[in-house]
A and B are shown apart, each in its own frame.
Chain A
């Protein structure tokens, strides 16, 4: 999970892992824009070998829920 928060922060323009928690609702982040979204897709693919779809990102709310979903797809 720590590692995922780190990866998630890398997808944003200026956030650190400490700014995020597993309960963060990612779509409500001020930095959640199309570029962050595409960066996250690419980083998840690169790190976990899981190709998320736009639907997957809409379906989940929190960083934890997204992380757990990624674990089931690995």
Chain B
């Protein structure tokens, strides 16, 4: 079983980016045929209020670049040599080359850098952290940047009410560094490929290449429109998966780490929707204040970015004051899930900005400004 307890590295900085454009669900109610009653239920149960979406032509690579620049610009120049660049995305610019290599080029990093993509969705941040810690433990890598970025708004049919109101776009970059006397970090990873069909974007790659057939639109009983190539989610299957596997996996991780849930400061779950977060929290008998849920209503479900986005927004002031012993748990397409127990030290660099930055350059870089003042 891939459970690992590593004493190799530590998270040293975070920067998240979300597109400037806000889509409010209330503004879309007429277009989506939502009654005020239905809208209220979506607010109160799923927690959906607004999300950020990229402009046409903006990709996960663009957001990921902005997030990585936000992180690296905040570092002393002497600390900007990166040995490892991992890009977690399911919405890359090209089939090949990978986004990590594209980003490496855009940033003008040295050739002495390993760079690759990880094709995972909502579990991707946990896998990325595990890889970074493992590769640092294996030797040769001292400083790793983990980028998580997706533009799921570009994968859904805008008139598919089962997914379009849910998914937002965002990116985050995390610096993971070898430090002297690092704390233990532990990881627990799982897969169930039998559930591959329950969150799937079936068209456009090599099994079902782009074709007229992939563009054919169907309308379901509830009036949702969907092309074969669009992201499809079986809400019921995913819901059942999301409320059963994450609590099991967190319990297993804590048992393996020999730590009780009481001694953990915060449990940051993938921000799937409010319903799922509260249900997992209840199953683990966690006090609600230990389980941040603020990014759902502001950003929607942002795939692999949701955990670091929550760290840089909901938990920004607590990380500036730090340290925090955190359980992180991601779960999603694959089906793939995992959890990490990490001790995050007080972070000077824990910022959030918007993309593109505003013309005056001030309001978009709140996080950086705050961190620079610390």
Binding site for B on A (CB under 8 A): 13-14, 33-35, 37-39, 41-42, 45-46, 51-54, 57
Contact = CB atoms under 8 A, between A and B. Distances in A.
Interface stretch (B205-213, B237-245, B304-312, B335-343): B237-245
Contact of B222 (A34, A41, A52, A54): A34
Given A13-B37, A13-B41, A41 B46 contact: no
Given A38-B275, A42-B279, 5 more contacts: A33-B38, A37-B235, A37-B236, A41-B236, A51-B240
Q: Which secondary structure characterizes the binding site on chain A?
A: helix
Contacts of B222: 33-34
B236 A35 contact: no
A54 B243 CA distance: 14
Contacts of A53: 236-237, 240
Nearest to A41: B239
A42 B236 contact: no
A45 B279 contact: yes
B38 A35 contact: yes
Interface string B263-305: 0000000000001000100100000000000000000000000
Given A34-B162, A41-B236, A14 B37 contact: yes
Given A42-B279, A51-B244, A35 B239 contact: no
Contacts of A37: 235-236
A37 B237 CA distance: 11
A35 B46 contact: yes
B280 to A, nearest CB: 11
Q: Which secondary structure characterizes the binding site on chain B?
A: helix
A10 to B, nearest CB: 11
Nearest to A33: B222
B45 A35 contact: yes
A34 B161 CA distance: 9
A38 B38 CA distance: 13
A52 to B, nearest CB: 7
A42 B275 contact: yes
A41 B46 CA distance: 13
Nearest to B40: A13
18 contacts: A13-B38, A34-B162, A35-B41, A35-B46, A37-B235, A38-B45, A38-B235, A38-B236, A38-B239, A38-B275, A41-B236, A41-B239, A42-B243, A42-B279, A46-B279, A54-B236, A54-B237, A57-B236
Contacts of A41: 236, 239-240
A14 B240 CA distance: 24
Contact of A35 (B42, B237, B244, B279): B42
Contacts of B215: none
A39 B236 contact: no
B234 interface: yes
B41 A51 contact: no
Contact of A52 (B162, B240, B275): B240
Nearest to A57: B236
A50 B84 CA distance: 45
A35 B166 CA distance: 12
A51 to B, nearest CB: 6
Question: Which residue among B38, B236, B240 has the maximum number of chain A CB atoms within 10 Å of its CB?
Answer: B236
Contacts of A14: 37
A42 B235 CA distance: 12
Contacts of B46: 35, 38
Question: Which residue among B45, B240, B244 has the maximum number of chain A CB atoms within 10 Å of its CB?
Answer: B240
A51 B236 contact: no
Interface in B24-80: 37-38, 41-42, 45-46
B308 to A, nearest CB: 26
Contacts of B240: 41, 51-54
